[in-house]
Amino acid sequence: MTVTLRSLETALPPTVLVQSEVRDAFATQPGLTRLGERLVRTCFNSAAIDTRRTALTELSLTDTSEHPLFYDAASGLLLRPSTKTRNDIFAVEATKLFIEAAAKALDACAGITAADITHVITVSCTGFFNPGPDYKVTRALGLNPSVQRYHLGFMGCYAAFPAMRAAKSFCEADPGAVVLVVSAELCSLHVRTSNDPDAIMGSSLFADGAAAAVITAREDLPDSGPAIALDHFETILTPVGEEAMAWNIGDEGFEMVLGTYVPHIIDDHIIGALKPLLAHDEAVSSRPYREIEHWAIHPGGRSILDKVEAKLDLTEQQLMPARETLRTVGNMSSATVLFVLKSILEQPFTGGNERICSMAFGPGLTVETGLFTRVGGPAVAAVPAEQGAEDTVPAQIPAAV
């Protein structure tokens, strides 16, 4: 039985953040120390990001709301709304992205209708409400009211992997199952001005977006183009790093903890984390990493991608889907690796069995990995990538994950 991701679609909020403009707004906030201002400019300049998306129209820096909550364009001040205020916005704006991405994935899956969906798995770590996004998607798409619903909350950037792994298990248990997986994150809800290096890094990096996939083992469906066979998943906890990465709830939003040692932990343990995954397939485990055709790495930050590329001796082209995702839409936490997988699906397909090794990192320190096979017809050629920024991050600045 082959469990296949048969459609993969994304959704973005309309407001575009231009990295240089947001940098200047954050760097001129009152209360920043000289070091804090320097960290803001260096982090933003070194993030290898050109643009991001946000559900907060105020962060366009030109919005003239009469009662601003996050940014007052008249004074140029970043405001400090409560966690409740931020979460109330999440309940409204995240719902829109959950539904949009889910509807697009369902429409793109040939032979599947709303009546065929047997399971819904939603994912997010940037807000909470109940009835939750699994309920909202079910109602909005007109799914069967008896559909099995699950929500994976507050797991962090790697959460798309547990969601896909659960979908694979459901399909293996029931060959007729059709699972809709939807991830939506509003990371920009939690940005704030601060002299804290972790908060500065989060402000320079995180963004909003959603992605959805239809996963099934059904063999009676028409060919709808390129797809991904979900071969195997593994999860590893590194022996160190429990305090190096965390996602906590504060009075003024969620607070990221991201130690400067995180890239070194990944550098030290990435080979060991891959061993149990690649051992699942002898034909893959015996090949040099560079010979695995595609690498869908969660682009948590530029330094992480640099470490992965160097440690595994990968080519620039193999990391391009991750780097281009980071450059154009930033780090959207759990949804981001699905954007990278979609980018790989849109590359020209030469036929045969193209393997994909995928990986994401999160609190714990947790390393989630997946081994996939790209299958199906020819895809639309991707737009040629542009070169990212060449600045480096000083040693004292947290290198994002």
Contact 19, 42 (CB under 8 A): no
Calpha distance 148→201 (Å, rounded): 38
What is the 3-state secondary structure of the chain? CCCEEEEEEEECCCEEEEHHHHHHHHHCCCCCCHHHHHHHHHHHHHCCCCEEEECCHHHHCCCCCCCCCCEECCCCEECCCCHHHHHHHHHHHHHHHHHHHHHHHHHHCCCCCHHHCCEEEEEECCCCCCCCHHHHHHHHCCCCCCCEEEEEECCCCCCHHHHHHHHHHHHHHCCCCEEEEEEEEEHHHHCCCCCCHHHHHHHHHECEEEEEEEEECCCCCCCCCCEEEEEEEEEEECCCCCCCEEEEEECCEEEEEECCCHHHHHHHHHHHHHHHHHCCCHHHHCCCHHHCCEEEECCCCHHHHHHHHHHCCCCHHHHHHHHHHHHHHCECHHHHHHHHHHHHHCCCCCCCCEEEEEEEEECCCEEEEEEEEEECCCCCCCCCCCCCCCCCCCCCCCCCC
Tell me which of 43, 109, 125, 157 is the catalytic residue.
Answer: 157
Task: At 91, give phi and psi (nearest 5°).
Answer: -60, -35
Of 334, 338, 347, the C-alpha closest to 374 is 347
Residue 253 DSSP symbol:
E
Query: 261 is written with which tokens?
Result: 């040692």
Question: How far is C-alpha 15 from the geometric centre of its chain's CA atoms?
Answer: 18
Q: Is residue 125 among the annotated active site residues?
A: no
Residues designated as active site: 157
